[in-house]
Each structure stands twice: as structure tokens, then as C-alpha cells.
Amino acid sequence: AGGCPVSHRGTVPSFAPPAAPMRGRPRQAGANRATVLQQKETIGSQREAIRELTGKLSRCEGADGRSATGTWKKELGKGKDTMGDLPRDPAQVIDQLSRTMQTLKDRLESLEHQLRANVSYAALPSDLREMLQRRLGDLERQLLSKVAELEDEKSLLHNETSAHRQKTETALNALLERVSELEKGNSAFKSPDEFKVSLPLRTNYLYGKIKKTLPELYAFTVCLWLRSSASPGIGTPFSYAVPGQANEIVLIEWGNNPIELLINDKVAQLPLFISDGKWHHICITWTTRDGMWEAFQDGEKLGTGENLAPWHPIKPGGVLILGQEQDTVGGRFDATQAFVGEMSQFNIWDRVLKAEDIMNIANCSTNMPGNIIPWVDNNVDVFGGATKWPVETCEERLLDL
């Protein structure tokens, strides 16, 4: 009582068939009256069963969505609450609802067939059958609507899961790349900056390349250790080229000319002397304000000047090459301008360092990596036979002066 008449194992109200009409000659009047009364009683009980069924269907239909659903769950699940604890997998939920809907449809159709077989048309009017059919249709539409909602939820869940998986994979890949870089940087050398690049031959195919590029600069300081005995001229320790200007920044000693600093293809000669085969610490500063420049060798300022590309900002996004002079961005090297020797601790800052800081770097009393380009193993690639080797300690390089 109170539940919907659709339990999978529930019983359909039984309908006793009306007593068969009397055939042959009439019996006694008392017997006829008893038969009529029995038929009326049977029809009355059948009508009561139909009213009870109709009431239960109305209660199922009239309850709110959640209450009705809970009732169907309990009545349609073979004696247990099959829909009260839906599976977490949307596909299982949809399959379960489909089976529930089919069970409901089969039960009601069976009930209708039994009603047709057991109840005379006088006891089950056509409008009652139509009403039952309409309610069956309403129940079916509600179940189909729920199935559609679950399909939408399943699709959304799939999309969210895919997006989350892609995001996680991207983060893991970035982490793996970082770990690989750290392992690579620490695998060959005690510290990521304790290495040197060796360029033993004057060719157009040995060189190093800095992976990072420069931002727009209004001032800079470049410092490096180098050793060369090449003659004539040590060649090009480094060059920076940008689209439209291959000589944005170049340090070069070519032939019998003095060492030159080029900024935006403008030239200043530097009073540096470093082709004696010993380690030397070189620093160059420049600012766009009045094109002021300074040149330091082994911690001492040996020269200064101005009007070197004044008010010209260094352009960003170019290519920084060690050991070759670029005629186009990243290429067209000339073997006669190639650097021959070794270099290490190539650092770039986005400001003019104080003379005191440069002295402290040169005499090994401080270690100050460049804030724009630091000297680290995983930021330097070598090509064409150029090699990386463990470098002498700073103190050993000092003794070589």
C-alpha cells in the first residue's frame, strides 16, 4: 500500500474471470439470483483493484521528481532500491534506467492484457485504458528525459577529464625537461658554470651558440675569460646579430687591426692585448646615453670613449654566437674572422657594472653571474667540433696571467 504497482517481483492484482453465462434451460430462480450476485461481487472487486492501481500510478506521477524517482527506484528494483544509489559511471546509470523503463513498460502492458482477458468491457471502459496508456507514455518520457540529462553529464565529464589530463601531461613534461636540463648540466662538470668552450681551429663551422636571446637594452656589461695565441688576430670571441643588422654587437680582432667593439655597425677600437696564449679576464661596458663605453683587462680599466652608437637601444630577439662573426642572423661565417682558443664565464648584465665589481670578478673574490645571460652548461650548445671541457679554477687562471 502507498507504493507504485511496478515492482519487478511484485504481484499484479489478480482478476477472477466472471462466471460463464448459463447455457441451456434456465435453472431455478434462486440459482439465477446467486449467479448474478456473484458476478456483481466479482466485478466490484475488479473495479476496486483497478481504482487501487490507478491511485498508485497517480501518486507516482504526481510526486515531485525526486520523490517519484525514489518510489520508482524501490518498486522497480526486484525488491531493493536500485535507483537510490546510482552507479558513479554515467554509462551504467543510463543502462540501468533503460532497463527500468523497459520493465515498467512490460509490466503495464502485461497488466493491460490481463485486464482485457479477465474483465468485461463493461468493467474496464475504454477511457480507463486510454488513461493508463497516457500515464505509461508520461512515465516513459520522464525516463527518456533523465537519460538525456545523464548523457549530457557524461559528455561534460569526458571533456573535463580530457582537459585535466592534457594539463597534467603538459606540467609533467615541463618538469621532466627541467630535470633533464639539470641532470645534463651537472653530469659533466662539478658545477654548471665550471666549463670552457674550446675552438682549436680557424674554420667557418666551429662555434658555440647561446640558447637565450637578449631583451631590448639601453646599457650592458659583457665579461668573459679567454685564452688565445692565434695570429694574426684572435678572431671574433662573440657576435650578436638581429634581423636587419648583423653587427648589432661584435667583439673582433681581425688581421693586424686592434680589437674592435661594434655597436649597430659603429666601431670603437679598444686598447686590449690578449693574444699571448694566457688566460685574461675581459669586460666591456656600454650605455646608449652618449654612447659611452669602457674596456677592462684583468680588472683594470684600460680605455674609455663615447659617441659609440649613441641613443641606439640594443634590439631584442637576435642570435648570440661564440667564436664566429655573423654576416646574417645565425650564419654566413667567415673562417678568417673565427676565434681560435678557449673561453669561459661569458656573462651579460643589463647595466654598467661598477669598476669595483669588475675588479672583484677578475681577482676571483666574487662570483657574479650575468642577470641577462649567465654562463651555465645547459645554455650553451657547441657545433662543428667545438667542445666543452672542465675549466681551470679561477685561482689557476690568475696564476696564468
To 10 degrees, the CA torsion angle through 333, 337, 342, 344?
Answer: -70
Per DSSP (E only), the strands in 63-133 are: none
Examine the domain organization and report whether 202 and 325 are in the same domain: yes
Domain extent at residue 165: 139-189
Between 33 and 385, whose confidence is greater? 385
Examine the domain organization and report whether 250 and 374 are in the same domain: yes
Which one, of 43, 211, 227, 28, lies nearest residue 118 by Cα? 43
Is pTM beyond 0.75? Reply is no
User: 24 lies in a domain?
Assistant: no
pLDDT at 88 over 80: no
Examine the domain organization and report whether 184 and 230 are in the same domain: no
Rg of the chain in Å (alpha carbons): 47
Query: C-alpha cell of 286?
Result: 656600454
The label of the residue with cell 462466471 reads: 19
pLDDT at 83 over 80: no
User: 323 lies in a domain?
Assistant: yes
Examine the domain organization and report whether 176 and 301 are in the same domain: no
Lowest mean per-residue pLDDT among 150-159, 187-196, 326-335: 187-196
Examine the domain organization and report whether 154 and 282 are in the same domain: no
- C-alpha 205/C-alpha 299 separation (Å) is 32
Give the range with max mean pLDDT: 64-73, 109-118, 141-150: 141-150
Examine the domain organization and report whether 168 and 207 are in the same domain: no
Residue type at 178 in one-letter notation: R
User: 4 lies in a domain?
Assistant: no
Between 19 and 245, whose confidence is greater? 245
Instruction: Say what percent of the chain tops pLDDT 70.
Output: 66
The predicted pLDDT at position 72 comes to: 40
The predicted pLDDT at position 260 comes to: 94
Lowest mean per-residue pLDDT among 108-122, 208-222, 230-244, 266-280: 108-122
User: 117 lies in a domain?
Assistant: no
The label of the residue with cell 434456465 reads: 26
Query: C-alpha cell of 398?
Result: 690568475
Place 97 in a pLDDT band, splitting at 50, 70 and 90: low
Between 74 and 180, whose confidence is greater? 180
**210, β-bridge pairs:** 320, 380
- C-alpha 241/C-alpha 239 separation (Å) is 7
The predicted pLDDT at position 45 comes to: 63
Examine the domain organization and report whether 223 and 368 are in the same domain: yes
Which DSSP state fits 272? -
Contact 32, 26 (CB under 8 A): yes
Residue that terminates a domain, selected from 189, 220, 249: 189
Mean pLDDT of 203-216: 94
Query: C-alpha cell of 292?
Result: 659611452
pLDDT at 373 over 90: yes
Examine the domain organization and report whether 225 and 254 are in the same domain: yes
Query: C-alpha cell of 310?
Result: 649613441
Examine the domain organization and report whether 246 and 323 are in the same domain: yes
Domain of residue 367, CATH code: 2.60.120.200
Residue that terminates a domain, selected from 189, 216, 231: 189
Q: What is the mean pLDDT of the chain?
A: 77
Query: C-alpha cell of 252?
Result: 673582433
pLDDT digits (tens, 9 = 90+) for 296-355: 999 999 999 999 999 999 999 999 999 999 999 988 999 999 999 999 999 999 999 999
Query: C-alpha cell of 305?
Result: 670613449
Residue type at 275 in one-letter notation: S
Cis peptide before 232 (omega within 30 of 0): yes
Examine the domain organization and report whether 287 and 374 are in the same domain: yes
Residue that terminates a domain, selected from 173, 189, 205: 189
Between 62 and 296, whose confidence is greater? 296
Contact 108, 136 (CB under 8 A): yes
Contact 247, 239 (CB under 8 A): yes
User: 116 lies in a domain?
Assistant: no
Report the interhelical angle of 126-187 vs 29-62 (nearest 10°): 30
User: 370 lies in a domain?
Assistant: yes
The predicted pLDDT at position 77 comes to: 42
User: 151 lies in a domain?
Assistant: yes
Residue 151: CB partners within 8 Å, gap ≥ 6? 90, 94
Examine the domain organization and report whether 157 and 299 are in the same domain: no
Examine the domain organization and report whether 242 and 340 are in the same domain: yes
Q: CA torsion sign, 127 to 133 to 134 to 139?
A: positive
Which one, of 322, 339, 391, 395, lies nearest residue 362 by Cα? 395
Task: Look at the chain and count its residues.
Answer: 401
User: 328 lies in a domain?
Assistant: yes
Domain count, the chain: 2
- C-alpha 281/C-alpha 295 separation (Å) is 11
